[in-house]
Chain A
Amino acid sequence: MTESYLETGARARIVGLLDRNSFAEFLGPTARVMSPHLPGLDMPAAFDDGIVVGEGTIDGRPVLIAAQEGGFMGGAIGEIHGAKLTGLLERALDVKPDAVLLLFDSGGVRLQEANAGLIAMGEIQRAVLATRHAGISVIGLIGGRNGCYGGTSIIARTCDWLIGSEEGRLSISGPEVIETIEGAEEFDSQDRALVWRTMGLKHRRLIGEIDRVVADDVTAFRDAAKDYLGRSRDLTLDALEAEQGFLTERLNRFHDCGDAREIWARLGINEPARVPDLDPEAFESIATTLAVQRP
């Protein structure tokens, strides 16, 4: 039986990704570790502050896992939410799992928690890099309704690997933010096709920002995650310089493109207008040969 990754919540995603009954939550809702900021703003808080963290297994291999609950404040990262993520990553250094899985579904920093949320972002990024530096694979999964925006998108791009469905989106600024700043002529946030071909994960895959597009199905995410357990991307000065060179080259190659479809055509895709219609398998077979390859 298939279960839509998009339509389910944080807890159900974890249950579907891990081996049956293997999940043990840290600081679960009964611990009531809640936002200290929201009551002062007269806003409702959540018992788990919108994130589920814990440990479990995939095919018997130990992993740590975190899932953001997009239904609570758009999955935005506040102080407690961020501390739970940082703590999970720091635990990875002690227990050395085969991977840390981060299930992103978030608009970025929780603006109501301002500085505490921003500090959390820095702490999480540092913890992701420390985890990778210890040779532990950090795998990001994107396929929720809120996509992966703002500071959360920066965290995602510090991971070793990113897996997502075409329903997912990855970008620094959201469509409405761009429209507000630059005007609807620059970016029409109501144009869903434009939003998805600019920020959607098929485009991100084709320009070398994520590693795999899968179907909107929890089992498909699980199967893809298995391929990356225990595998790290190089994190050395040489690797970072190679990445910088890759970004420069990519900008030179596509800087005059006004639309994602022009980039897809330049990559050698015969019918760029049909890319959004391709099912994940057909798309992956094209992307494997034609997508921009990260070093």
Chain B
Amino acid sequence: MESFEFFFPGRPGLTWRGDGKLVGVVGSGNLEVMIEPVQLKGECLVTISTSVTGYRETWKRVVADFVDRHTLSDIRVSINDAGATPAVVSLRLDQAVAEYLGGPL
């Protein structure tokens, strides 16, 4: 197992509400993503726990790309990963935002 924690400067835009949202499942080649509103002085925090070691840089890029594509601030994204590919990770992250905002599942 390997764990990372990344902070990103936030960009105000989307309004977060409610308790948090969980999508995905911790199964082989899959992951769960939980998104929660947390007071972080406008920043975004992403914590990752993964069963596959040695991919810190890849995770950082995938998550940075996600943060770039949305206007996020004061959120914590928590990930439990069981070997998902970067594409699956990106889709799950987008799904978490979509479901959090009450959009299509």
Interface-located stretch among B7-15, B20-28, B55-63: B20-28
Residues of B contacting A167 with CB < 8 Å?
none
Interface stretch (choices B67-75, B77-85, B87-95): B77-85
State whether the Cβ of A29 lies closer than 8 Å to any Cβ in chain B: yes
Given A44-B49, A44-B50, A47-B22, verify A29-B34 contact (CB < 8 Å). yes
Check if A30 sits within 8 Å of B19, measured CB to CB. yes
Residues of chain B within 8 A (CB-CB) of A44 are: 1, 26, 49-51, 80-82
Determine whether the beta carbon of A30 is less than 8 Å from that of B25.
Answer: no
Question: B80: which A residues are within 8 A, CB to CB?
Answer: 44-47
**Closest CB in chain A relative to B37 CB, distance in Å:** 10
Knowing A43-B1, A71-B27 are in contact, say whether A30-B36 is a contact too (CB < 8 A): yes
- A9→B1 CA distance, assembly (Å): 26
Chain A CB count within 10 A is highest, among B32, B49, B51, for B32
How many residues belonging to B are interface residues under a CB distance threshold of 8 Å?
Answer: 18
| CB-based contact B1/A48 at 8 Å | no
Closest residue on chain B to residue A46 by CB atoms? B26
B34–A71 contact, CB under 8 A? no
Q: A45–B78 Cα gap in the complex (Å)?
A: 12
Of B1, B26, B32, the contact of A42 (CB 8 Å cutoff) = B1
Which interface class (under 10, 10 to 19, 20 to 34, 35 or more) fits A? Answer: 10 to 19
Say yes or no: is A28 at the interface (Cβ < 8 Å to chain B): yes
Cross-chain contact of A30 among B32, B34, B81 (Cβ < 8 A): B34
Q: Is there contact, CB below 8 Å, between B32 and A43?
A: no
A94-127 near B? 1/0 per residue, CB < 8 Å = 0000000000000000000000000000000000
A114 to chain B, nearest CB (A): 20
Say whether, besides A30-B36, A43-B51, A71 and B30 are in contact (CB < 8 Å): yes
**Does A39 sit at the interface, judged by CB under 8 A?**
yes
Report B-chain residues with C-beta under 8 Å of the C-beta of A28: 19-20, 22
Contacts of B27 in A (CB 8 A): 71-72
A69 and B25 form a contact (CB under 8 A): yes
In this complex, the member of B25, B30, B34 whose beta carbon has the largest number of chain A beta carbons within 10 angstroms is B25
A45 vs B51: C-alpha distance in the bound complex, in angstroms? 10
**Given the complex, which residues of A lie within 8 Å of B19, measured CB to CB?**
28, 30
List B contacts of A73 (CB < 8 A). Answer: 26
- State how many angstroms separate the Cβ of B45 from the closest Cβ of chain A: 14
**Closest beta carbon of chain B to A49's beta carbon, Å:** 10
Q: Can you list 21 contacts pairing A with B, beta carbon distance less than 8 Å?
A: A11-B22, A28-B20, A29-B20, A29-B22, A29-B34, A30-B19, A39-B1, A42-B51, A44-B26, A44-B49, A44-B51, A44-B81, A44-B82, A45-B26, A47-B34, A47-B78, A47-B80, A48-B22, A71-B25, A71-B27, A72-B26
| Chain A residues packing against B (C-beta within 8 Å) | 9, 11, 28-30, 39, 42-48, 69, 71-73
